[in-house]
Chains A and B, each alone.
Chain A
Amino acid sequence: MPFSASDWKDVVPVPQDDGVQPLAPIAYAQEYTEAMDLFRAVLLSGEKSARVLELTAFIIEANSSHYTAWKYRLDTVRALGSPLEDELKFVEEVAFETPKSYQLWPYRQAISDQLNQPQREIDFVGRILALDSKNYHAWAYRQHIVSKYDLWDSELEYIDGLLRDDVRNNSAWNQRFFVVSRRPAEFTAADLDAEVAYALSHIQKAPHNESAWNYLRGQASHCAVLLAARAHLLTVAAESCLS
C-alpha cells in the first residue's frame, strides 16, 4: 500500500540519528526512510488520523515486525473508531505475506476480541494453517479462539482431517490433547478408552510415529484416578505392536 508524501506537506519530518558508528545500519529504500521520518513526527505530535493508518500500513508492509507501528495503528483505529472489518482484511493481507511474523497475531486478537465472530476467525486461521499446518503462532491463536468461544466439538473433526493428510503432524496431535484435556466436559474412563484406541489405530498405520506414541503416553498419565487402566493399556499397546 503506497502512502502519498503529498498528504504530509504540513509535517516536518524527523530524520533518524544513528550516531557516529552505528551497528548494522540499513541502506533503507528512499520511501521507507520518508515514511519513518514522518512516523517519528507522528509519534511526537500524537496525531491519530486516516493518513496515519496509511502510513503505518506502509511501514508494516515493509517490516511486519515493526511493533511500534502495530501498536500505534491500534491506538489510531480505536481513537478514530475506524471499521474493524478493514483491519481484519489488512491483517489477513500481512499474514499471507509473512505468516511467521509474531506481531500480527496479538493485533488480530485485539481486533477480533471486539468483533466476536468466532467462525470468521476459525476460517481465517484455517486459511493460514492451509499454507503451513504447523505454524506455531496460528495454532496459539486457534487455541485462544477455541477456548474463548467453546468450539471444542468441531475442533476434533478438523484435527482428524489434518491427521488424515499427515499422521505425523505433531501440532495436530497436540491440539487433540489440548481439546480433550481442556474442554469443560469431565474426562471419564470412556474418554480414556477412546483416546487410547485413537492413538493405537494411528500407531498401527505408522508404528514409528513418535507423535502418536507421545500422545498415548500422555493420555496414560493424564488422569491420576485412571492410573489403574495403565497396566491394561500398556498390555494392549504391546500386543498391538507385536501383532
Chain B
Amino acid sequence: MAREASQAARELGVDIKYFQRHLGVLPHDYTGIDTSRLTFAGFCIQALDLLGALETSSTEAQRADWIEWTYAMQIHPSAKPQSTAANDYDGSHITMTYAALVVLLTLGDDLSRVNKDAIVNFFASCDSPERDMRFVFCACAISFILADWRGVDIPRAFDFIRKSKTYDHGFAQTPGQESHGGSTFCALASLYLMGELRDGATVDFKRTRAWLINRQDSGFHGRVNKPSDTCYAFWVGGSLEILGSHQAFVNVDSLNAFLAETHSSYGGYSKHSDDYPDVMHSYMGFASRALCRDSLVGRLFAPLNISQRAFAHCRQLGLGQSPSGAESQATH
C-alpha cells in the first residue's frame, strides 16, 4: 500500500509540475492561444486545485497578482480601452467571461469587483447568428455563479436546447446538427443551472442516458462511431454525473486503462494515445478522474466544471444560485 501511495504521489508530482510550467512563460508556438489565455490558464489553475496543489505550488502574493491580471481583462462600458492590458482591446467574449469567473472563484476571490451590469448588458448585445450550445452554457454558468439571471431569456434558452435535441437523444451544438458529447454536457448543465432539468419531453432521462453510456468503449468518444478521446471522459462523464448516473454506469477500470495510455510520463494527458499532451486534455483527464471519485483527486461540481471546494466558496459568498423559484429534479 505504502509503495502504491508513493508511486501515486510521484505520478501527481510530474503532473503538478506540468501545470505549473504552463502558467509560466510559453514558447511562441502557443501564439494560437493568445486570445484564450484565460481559458488556458484556467485549466492549469483548476487542475492544480483538483490535485490539491494550488497553495503549495504558488505563493499567496502570486495568486493575488493572478487575480489582478484577471480583473485587468474586464471590460467596463466605455468608448475606448482604459489600459493596454493584454486582451483589453478585444471585445467582450462570453467564454472568457466564464473562464475569468472560474479562475477568480478558484483563487478564492470574492467577485466584488465584477461588473455585473456590464455583463448583463453584454448578454443583451449578443443576439447574433452565432448562437450555439457552448454560449448558452457560458451564459447560464455566468448567471448562476453571479446569482443574477437578468441577462438570460430563460424560455428562449430552453427552447433552443429543446430544438437541439437530436433523433438519438443526444444534443447538438445548434438545431439540426449531429449529437455531440460536448454540446450534450452544455445542454444538460444549462438546464440544471436554470433549474429546469426534469425527466420529460425535453430530456428523456432514460434515452439520453443510453446515448451517453454508449459513448464509452474503453475511454469515451464524443460522437457515434468516433474514436475515444480523453476530453470526452469529462464531457460525457459530466453529463452522466448531472443525470445522477455516473457511479452506476461508468466502467471506471476500463476508463483508467484508457487514461493510462493517454497519460504522458512528462505529465499531462493527450487527446489520443499517440499524441503529445496539451493543457485542455490534461485538465479534462483529471476532471474525469474527479468524477470517478479517484482518491488522489478532489471532487468536482460537474454543472459548472469547477471543484467542489471552489463551488462551496461561491455558495459562501451567497452566490451560485438558479433563478428564484426554479429547481432541477434532484439527480445527485
Partner-contacting stretch, out of B25-33, B113-121, B310-318: B25-33
Q: Which interface class (under 10, 10 to 19, 20 to 34, 35 or more) fits B?
A: 35 or more
* A22 interfacial by beta-carbon distance below 8 Å: yes
Interface residues of A in 1-54 (CB under 8 A from B): 14-29, 32, 39-40, 43-44
* A82 interfacial by beta-carbon distance below 8 Å: no
> Of the candidates A19, A24, A26, A178, which one forms a contact with B65 in the assembled complex, judged by CB atoms under 8 Å apart?
A19
Interface residues of A in 190-215 (CB under 8 A from B): 209-211, 214-215
* B178 interfacial by beta-carbon distance below 8 Å: yes
B68 touches A19 (CB 8 A): yes
How far apart sit A62 and B34, CA to CA, in the bound complex (Å)? 10
A178 touches B35 (CB 8 A): no
Contact residues in A for B69 (Cβ distance below 8 Å) = 18-23
> Of the candidates B30, B35, B86, B177, which one forms a contact with A174 in the assembled complex, judged by CB atoms under 8 Å apart?
B177
B22's nearest neighbour on chain A, judged by CB, is A24
* A112 interfacial by beta-carbon distance below 8 Å: no
* B168 interfacial by beta-carbon distance below 8 Å: yes
Contact residues in B for A152 (Cβ distance below 8 Å) = none
How far apart sit A109 and B129, CA to CA, in the bound complex (Å)? 10
How far apart sit A40 and B84, CA to CA, in the bound complex (Å)? 9
Interface residues of B in 34-51 (CB under 8 A from A): 34-38, 40-41, 44-45
B31 touches A28 (CB 8 A): yes
> Of the candidates A21, A67, A68, A211, which one forms a contact with B224 in the assembled complex, judged by CB atoms under 8 Å apart?
A211
* B80 interfacial by beta-carbon distance below 8 Å: yes
* A230 interfacial by beta-carbon distance below 8 Å: no
A143 touches B176 (CB 8 A): yes
Contact residues in A for B22 (Cβ distance below 8 Å) = 24
Interface residues of B in 56-98 (CB under 8 A from A): 62, 65-66, 68-70, 72, 80-81, 83-86, 89-91, 93
CB distance from A206 to the nearest CB of B (A): 10
B65 touches A136 (CB 8 A): no
A136 touches B85 (CB 8 A): no
* B209 interfacial by beta-carbon distance below 8 Å: no
B91 touches A65 (CB 8 A): no
* B288 interfacial by beta-carbon distance below 8 Å: no
B176 touches A28 (CB 8 A): no
How far apart sit A106 and B180, CA to CA, in the bound complex (Å)? 20
Contact residues in A for B103 (Cβ distance below 8 Å) = 23
Q: Which interface class (under 10, 10 to 19, 20 to 34, 35 or more) fits A?
A: 35 or more
How far apart sit A168 and B224, CA to CA, in the bound complex (Å)? 8
Interface residues of A in 154-209 (CB under 8 A from B): 168-171, 174, 177-178, 182, 209
How far apart sit A65 and B45, CA to CA, in the bound complex (Å)? 22
CB distance from A237 to the nearest CB of B (A): 16
B168 touches A217 (CB 8 A): yes
Asked, given contacts A27-B27, A32-B31, A170-B224, whether A22 binds B86 with beta carbons under 8 Å apart, the answer is yes
CB distance from B113 to the nearest CB of A (A): 15
A68 touches B178 (CB 8 A): no
B93's nearest neighbour on chain A, judged by CB, is A67
Per-position 1/0 for A54-73, Cβ under 8 A of B: 00000000111111100100
Per-position 1/0 for B2-30, Cβ under 8 A of A: 00000000000000000000111111101
Contact residues in A for B168 (Cβ distance below 8 Å) = 214, 217-218
A28 touches B225 (CB 8 A): no
Per-position 1/0 for B172-185, Cβ under 8 A of A: 01101111100000
A221's nearest neighbour on chain B, judged by CB, is B167
Contact residues in B for A20 (Cβ distance below 8 Å) = 65, 68-69
How far apart sit A222 and B167, CA to CA, in the bound complex (Å)? 8
How far apart sit A63 and B34, CA to CA, in the bound complex (Å)? 7
B34 touches A66 (CB 8 A): yes
* B130 interfacial by beta-carbon distance below 8 Å: yes
Contact residues in B for A78 (Cβ distance below 8 Å) = none
Q: What are 19 residue pairs bridging A and B, where the CB atoms are less than 8 Å apart in the complex? A: A15-B84, A18-B69, A20-B65, A20-B68, A21-B69, A24-B30, A26-B26, A26-B28, A32-B28, A44-B81, A65-B33, A66-B35, A109-B129, A136-B178, A169-B225, A170-B224, A177-B166, A177-B167, A210-B225
Other A-B contacts than A26-B34, A62-B32, A63-B35, 9 sampled, CB-CB below 8 A, are: A14-B84, A16-B84, A23-B23, A24-B30, A24-B33, A27-B25, A67-B91, A140-B173, A222-B167
> 5 shortest A-B CB distances, which residue pairs?
A218-B167, A21-B65, A23-B41, A174-B178, A214-B168
Which residues of A does B touch, CB under 8 Å? 14-29, 32, 39-40, 43-44, 62-68, 71, 106, 109, 134, 136, 139-140, 143, 168-171, 174, 177-178, 182, 209-211, 214-215, 217-219, 221-222
